[in-house]
Amino acid sequence: MIIYENKIKEAEKLKEEIERYRPISSNLLKQLREYYRIGLTYSSNAIEGNSLTETETKVVLEDGITIGGKPLIDHYEATGHSEAYNLLLEIVKDREIKEKDILDLHYLFYYRIDKENAGRYRKEKVIITGSSYLPPLPNKVSALMKRFIEEIPIMKEGHHPIECAALLHKEFVAIHPFVDGNGRVARLLMNLALLQEEYTITIIPPVKRVDYINFLEIAHTKKDTRPFINFISCMVYESLKEYLIIIRG
């Protein structure tokens, strides 16, 4: 397993450099939003096994064309994630994270796939494939989510924004409140927390999937969050580097 160094200080420097380019023109800002709609949708879905390539995801979202030979559910996941991304950009303005926001993000991602369970907490046990961690029983989920929401402001006050985003992701996945789509909502939630602190969209490339899952497993089973925080800090750093290259160009 690769050891990831903490890149929070380096990420802060890149963020400061990006600030010098603001305000960004409305035309470039629009292009950036579309760029990350494709990139985040593709990567987040691919981590969960979606078969659409980045180019195919772009075709589905921009042209509304289905890809021959690809499962219909993969198209639903792409379209749903894109709609959840739109909502993400809207709720960033509120500067807080509410329970309704999380339910709405899941609903938009999932309603084409399973409308009955979209935006609703699970009422059945779930198993995380390939993990020895067992999520809480369904009758505990609602109370755990309410406590999770209540603790977000405390988490924000007590941690650096990148640490906070990583911990929000980790805690949400530990609860695993939905029957499916938890990973994708967790990554949207992580990005919501980052955007609210004026960081950029952070993408976890599918090639990093094994490390990503391993560090989450360590956080859940060994109660050691540092490797996961370090990993996320590196993903934030790399995403900031890419963003800076784009706006310089």
Contact 219, 227 (CB under 8 A): yes
The rounded distance, in Å, linking the Cα atoms of 68 and 206 is 22
Query: How far is residue 234's CA from residue 243's CA, in Å, rounded to a whole number?
Result: 14
CA 136 to CA 128: how far, in whole Å? 11
Q: Which of 65, 56, 64 is nearest to 38 (CA)?
A: 56
DSSP structural state of residue 121: -
Q: What are phi and psi of 171, to 5 degrees?
A: -65, -40
Whole-angstrom distance, CA of residue 243 vs CA of residue 249: 10
Query: Which residue is listed with tokens 């903490």?
Result: 6
Active site residue 176: yes
Where helices occur in 129-222 by DSSP H, the ranges are 138-158, 161-175, 182-196, 209-221
String of b and e for 40-76 (b: at least 16 CB within 10 Å)? bbbbbbbbeebebeeebbbbbbeeeeebeebeeebbb
Active-site hit among 81, 106, 169, 176 = 176
Nearest to 61 by CA among 80, 45, 46: 80
DSSP 136: P
Q: Which residues are catalytic?
A: 176
